Structure 1
Amino acid sequence: MNYVVVAFFAFFGGILRYLLGVELPIFHLFPIGTLTANYIGCFLFSWLVKQIMVDREINGRLILGVGTGFCGGLTTFSSFALDAVQLLQKQAYLVAFLYLFASIVGGLFFVWLGEAIVKKKVSE
């Protein structure tokens, strides 16, 4: 049954990732769609799944579906890595560095932000 739950939610995460990739422009070779999908996924996984759903003891299958399924389908290491390699192959070294830096630092920032928002609300 867990496979079905993960697959169901992954469908929606994957669709959102696809739409972001199609709708957001590539700016000077910079893959904004992949970056945005990863930022949203990092934030949602930290804020919604790890902080709110677990703290409120939401059903484990729903947490599995939203976390592993939706957030896993939305975020994409393979697209991130492929985008970076393609930038390097095009000898767009500065853009590749900026993309790698923005992806790693930005992803960590959005995980931190999700946790910080929950911690602030708890302390109020």
Structure 2
Amino acid sequence: MDELIIGIFAFVGGISRYGLDHLIPFGDYFPVATLVINVLGSFLLALVTTAWSLNERISARLTLGIGTGLIGAFTTFSSFSLEIFDLLVNHHYLLGIAYATLSLVSGVVGAGLGVFLGEKLKPTGEELK
């Protein structure tokens, strides 16, 4: 059953990534869409897992579906890696390094903000009863 839940949510995540990827312009060389998608995914995964941890009202299957399925399919390490490779092969060394650095730093910051907000939204002991 978990595989089905993950698959359904992954379909939604993949379609969402495809749609957002086509809404955000690529720019001349800089892969803006993948950067935005991965940072947003880092934020959302941290937010969901933090806010929903220890909350017995939230189904573990729902958390699995959203975290592993939807957000996992929404974000894309493979595109990120290929885009860096393409920038480097095409002699855009500074852009490749800047993209990799910006992606890593902003992804960690996004996750940090997600944890921070998730802590604020996490129900207290009284609300869990």
Same fold (TM > 0.5): yes
- 2:55 is matched with which residue? 56
State the Cα deviation string for residues 41-93 of structure 1 (Å, max 9, x = none). 10110002x11122323111101100000010011110100111011111111
Which structure 2 segments of 5+ residues have no match? 123-129
Checking the alignment, whether the CA contact within 8 Å between 2:6 and 2:64 is kept in structure 1 is yes
- 1:116 is matched with which residue? 116
- 2:126 is matched with which residue? none
Structure 2 residue 76 is the aligned partner of structure 1 residue 76: yes
Is the partner of 1:86 in helix, strand or coil? helix
The structure in which a higher percent of residues are helix is 1
Q: Mark the structure with the bigger radius of gyration.
A: 2
- 1:47 is matched with which residue? 47
Percentage of identical aligned residues: 39
Q: TM-score, normalised by structure 1?
A: 0.92
- 1:98 is matched with which residue? 98
In 2: Cα distance, 1:94 partner to 1:32 partner: 15
Checking the alignment, whether the CA contact within 8 Å between 1:20 and 1:36 is kept in structure 2 is no
Checking the alignment, whether the CA contact within 8 Å between 1:25 and 1:32 is kept in structure 2 is yes
The one-letter code matched in structure 1 to 2:72 is G
In 2: Cα distance, 1:74 partner to 1:111 partner: 15
The one-letter code matched in structure 1 to 2:51 is I
Which structure 1 segments of 5+ residues have no match? none
In 2: Cα distance, 1:95 partner to 1:81 partner: 13
In 2: Cα distance, 1:55 partner to 1:112 partner: 19
The root-mean-square deviation of aligned C-alpha atoms, in Å, is 1.3
Is the partner of 1:55 in helix, strand or coil? coil
In 2: Cα distance, 1:118 partner to 1:10 partner: 22
In 1: Cα distance, 2:50 partner to 2:25 partner: 32
